[in-house]
């Protein structure tokens, strides 16, 4: 495999491959964070997670069209506004869905799976009716595409850097919100003991709604960011949902740290194996090892002690 390549070649490929692994890690964290919050904190299996992501992508698409038409001067920076709007749109839709659908099903966790799956089909068809069945091309400002040359051989994709920065920022924000802010304390209290939390005066319904909204909002941000690396079509959310669940379940559903650890493990394994094997084989091996590990540790990598 490495016959005939110079050390310089190999060194730079190693560097770029390492970076590719880190980008994949960031992508996985960004995808999985929203789901992990909803799954971990509320026990709701949100099958419509991918569709919330795509809503964010469509918001970004609309933003790019609006800026191109009315504010071409500010086009270079529309993306930041698009991310915020994507968060708001997906978050608000999430809260509405929680109010209309999810809150009636808290006692029946498996039914939420069916309900959100149905919701994902409905959303897909709505996108198809509104935006058309075809993929839309999201035009990005020139500075976001392309790569920076670190050396003659090493090229670092700029969109990868943006995804990494965004992921770091959001992970940090979620950490502060859940583990440092008063609201996060309420969320954790509700997770640990709903009845007791309610008894000490926490408005559990409000906490639930905001938690669900937050999870969906982060999905929206992820979707917005993925317009840089992927496609935007009514069914594109389905492309991410399997990996997302894989990361969350492997990490241990209750644990945000677990989600990050599992995203790191899976992304590094995948990106290394894809380099040495073909893409399909890498996928198969990753899935096999995840299944193997889950057989040994059904609760996932990290487990929080929770009282039901």
Structure tokens at 130: 């509104």
Nearest distance from residue 130's CB to other proteins, in Å? 14
Of residues 190 through 229, those in contact with other proteins by CB under 8 A are: 226, 228-229
Nearest to 68 by CA among 56, 77, 57: 77
- Single out the residue of 239, 257, 285, 304 in contact with other proteins (rule: CB under 8 A): 239
DSSP 168-211: HHHHHHHHHHHHTSHHHHHHHHHHH-HHHHHHTT--HHHHHHHH
Q: What are the φ and ψ backbone dihedral angles of 148, each rounded to 5 degrees?
A: -100, 140
- The answer to the question of residue 230 lying near other proteins (CB under 8 A) is yes
Among 240, 245, 264, 302, the residue binding other proteins under the rule CB under 8 A is 240
Binding mask 121-160 for other proteins (x = CB under 8 A): ----x--x---xxxxxxxx-----xxx-x---x-x-xxxx
**289 binds other proteins, rule: CB under 8 A:** no
How many CB atoms neighbour CB 8 within 10 A?
A: 11
* Number of other CB atoms surrounding residue 217 within 10 Å: 27
Residues 254, 299 contacting (CB under 8 angstroms): no
149 strand-pairing partners: 155
State which residue, 237 or 300, has the beta carbon closest to other proteins: 237
Q: Which is nearer to other proteins, 26 or 171 (CB)?
A: 26
Closer residue to other proteins in complex, CB, 33/138: 138
* Residues at the interface with other proteins (CB under 8 A): 5, 9, 13, 16-17, 20, 23-24, 27, 125, 128, 132-139, 145-147, 149, 153, 155, 157-160, 226, 228-236, 238-240, 270-272, 274-275, 278-280, 282-283
């Amino acid at each position: 495999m490495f016959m005939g390549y110079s050390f310089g070649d190999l060194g730079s490929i190693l560097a770029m491959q390492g970076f590719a692994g880190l980008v994949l890690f960031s992508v996985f964290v960004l995808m999985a964070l929203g789901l992990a919050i909803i799954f971990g904190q509320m026990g709701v299996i949100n099958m419509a997670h991918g569709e919330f992501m795509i809503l964010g992508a469509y918001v970004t698409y609309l933003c790019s069209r609006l800026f191109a038409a009315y504010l071409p001067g500010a086009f270079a920076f529309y993306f930041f506004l698009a991310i915020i709007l994507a968060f708001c749109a997906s978050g608000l839709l999430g809260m509405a869905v929680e109010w209309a659908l999810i809150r009636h099903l808290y006692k029946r966790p498996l039914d939420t799976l069916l309900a959100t799956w149905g919701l994902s089909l409905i959303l897909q068809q709505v996108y198809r009716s509104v935006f058309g069945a075809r993929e839309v091309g999201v035009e990005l400002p020139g500075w976001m595409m392309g790569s920076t040359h670190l050396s003659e051989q090493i090229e670092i994709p700029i969109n990868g850097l943006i995804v990494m920065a965004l992921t770091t920022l959001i992970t940090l924000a979620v950490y502060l919100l859940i583990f440092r802010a008063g609201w996060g304390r309420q969320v954790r209290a509700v997770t640990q003991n709903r009845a007791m939390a309610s008894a000490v005066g926490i408005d559990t319904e409000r906490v639930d709604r905001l938690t669900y909204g937050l999870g969906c909002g982060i999905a929206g941000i992820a979707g917005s960011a993925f317009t840089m690396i992927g496609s935007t079509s009514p069914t594109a959310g389905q492309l991410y949902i399997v990996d997302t669940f894989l990361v969350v379940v492997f990490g241990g559903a209750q644990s945000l740290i677990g989600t990050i650890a599992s995203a790191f493990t899976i992304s590094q394994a995948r990106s290394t194996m894809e380099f040495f094997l073909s893409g399909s084989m890498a996928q198969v091996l990753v899935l096999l090892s995840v299944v193997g590990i889950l057989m040994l540790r059904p609760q996932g990598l990290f487990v929080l002690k929770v009282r039901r």
